[in-house]
């Protein structure tokens, strides 16, 4: 399930170690309870974010690794 996040004030955001962009053109993630993930645009840290369940996040990461995007 994917939802727009309501309150992520306590979230600890990070960028991928593969990110070399100093211009803020990155996606940031935050680990949430229950293996869920929050994702946002680093250019707009106070803007909207969305959350994914742990299984949806895992499926997405595997699809990226398999070159599906």
pLDDT in tens, 18-57: 776 666 668 899 999 888 899 998 888 888 898 999 999 8
**pTM of the predicted protein model:** 0.74
CB of 1 closer than 8 Å to CB of 50: no
**Which of 40, 41, 65, 62 lies closest to 50, judged by CA?**
40
Report how far residue 4's alpha carbon sits from residue 6's, in angstroms, rounded to the nearest whole number: 7
CB under 8 Å to 3, separation ≥6 — which residues? 50, 51
Q: How many domains does the chain have?
A: 1
Domain holding 60, by residue range, is: 2-18+25-65
């Amino acid at each position: 399930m994917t939802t727009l996040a309501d309150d992520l004030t306590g979230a600890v955001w990070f960028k991928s170690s593969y990110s070399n962009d100093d211009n803020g053109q990155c996606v940031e993630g935050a680990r949430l309870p229950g293996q869920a993930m929050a994702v946002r645009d680093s250019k707009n840290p106070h803007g909207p974010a969305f959350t994914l369940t742990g299984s949806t996040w895992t499926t997405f990461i595997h699809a990226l690794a398999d070159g599906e995007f």
